[in-house]
Chains A and B, each alone.
Chain A
């Protein structure tokens, strides 16, 4: 018998949540919460292949403190570190102007994976965030197109970033590695990967 209702004793007794076990098409796959030592790299490996889409959610901060600002995290798939297999296009706003450019850099495998606030003076407890969507990640007829909406606000400075990225490989995505371009991720940074069925 399907579960159709659930109650929570903490709510008023006449309130119910309607539940259907068949309707949860978005499911958590894995998550990482960075500990006290920080980390340079976030890895999701052995990604299940039984979903249609992936969504990555980030809340992150880097330990870079020399200059003010924030940075877009970098990401690559399936251990592919050949930079010519990647291309990113950016649309950014910083509160006073909007810009657009494209990136394909030697030695850097750039797929956009969220925004990280730096550890500059006055940026205590400020984190950047991002939602990254990858559709049809197991489809062997398609290169993988990534869509990212991310931002970072430091109470007087910040950025909003809407980026697209292309991984020119038709292989299903089985592994994701994320790093920061200027430093390590600090404690309390978190990354969560979800699968969406179709």
Chain B
């Protein structure tokens, strides 16, 4: 029987906002990680990307993406970049009280292979434009993941109060 969602850590952004959301000292005795995020940022646009990095590393990331913006669909890719992106959250000009809904799944995060990442991300807004992104990501690094960081890369923009992030460990049973 597999373990389902053991909460490792969570964070709720307070009234002062936060420039990043970080999880450190991640236990290494689980099989997979699942990070769920409900976030909004202060940037003066309707939606803004947030970025994910592991172990403080700024190299080795690539991804394949399919996305929709409420009017058209597209597919893009990145290679050898500094982070995983294409996760869009509502920002200051989006409908009030609206937060994104994101799930990041990392199987075998503590293993000695390169890390594969699946990201499902939606932003929402009461209008034509909102962003849905499905991403297949790669961190070309065989090091076990012991920390991860979410940031808003555009400067002078923070995660707003009530943004939340929950990191779960999932352990497969032994058979």
Interface residues of A (CB under 8 A from B): 11, 15-20, 22-26, 52-53, 87, 89-93, 98-102, 104, 133-136, 139, 141-143, 145-147, 149, 162-166, 168, 170, 196-198
Q: How far is the CA of A166 from the CA of B98 in the complex (A)?
A: 8
The answer on a CB contact under 8 Å between B132 and A162 is yes
The answer on a CB contact under 8 Å between A143 and B166 is no
Q: Say whether chain A's binding surface is mostly helix, strand, loop, or mixed.
A: strand
The answer on a CB contact under 8 Å between B70 and A89 is yes
The answer on a CB contact under 8 Å between B175 and A145 is no
Q: Other CB < 8 Å A-B pairs besides A25-B5, A100-B69, A142-B97, 16 of them?
A: A20-B6, A52-B166, A89-B70, A89-B132, A98-B68, A100-B68, A102-B127, A102-B128, A133-B101, A135-B99, A135-B101, A146-B101, A147-B102, A149-B134, A162-B132, A166-B98
Is B124 an interface residue when CB atoms closer than 8 A count as contact? yes
The answer on a CB contact under 8 Å between A145 and B173 is no
Interfacial chain B residues near A22, Cβ < 8 Å: 6
Across the interface, name the chain B residue whose C-beta is closest to A6. Answer: B1
Partner of A145, one of B98, B134, B174: B98
The answer on a CB contact under 8 Å between A16 and B174 is yes
Interface residues of B (CB under 8 A from A): 1, 3-7, 10, 36-38, 66-73, 75, 95-103, 120, 122-132, 134, 161-162, 164, 166, 168, 171, 173-175
Interchain pairs with CB closer than 8 A, number: 156
Q: How far is the CA of A25 from the CA of B134 in the complex (A)?
A: 25
Q: How far is the CA of A25 from the CA of B37 in the complex (A)?
A: 16
The answer on a CB contact under 8 Å between B120 and A100 is no
The answer on a CB contact under 8 Å between A133 and B36 is yes
Across the interface, name the chain A residue whose C-beta is closest to B161. Answer: A141
Interfacial chain B residues near A99, Cβ < 8 Å: 68, 72-73
Question: B134 CB to closest chain A CB, in angstroms?
Answer: 6
The answer on a CB contact under 8 Å between A17 and B1 is yes
Partner of B38, one of A16, A89, A142, A170: A142
Question: A43 CB to closest chain B CB, in angstroms?
Answer: 23
Across the interface, name the chain A residue whose C-beta is closest to B98. Answer: A143
Across the interface, name the chain A residue whose C-beta is closest to B162. Answer: A141
The answer on a CB contact under 8 Å between B132 and A100 is yes
Across the interface, name the chain A residue whose C-beta is closest to B30. Answer: A23
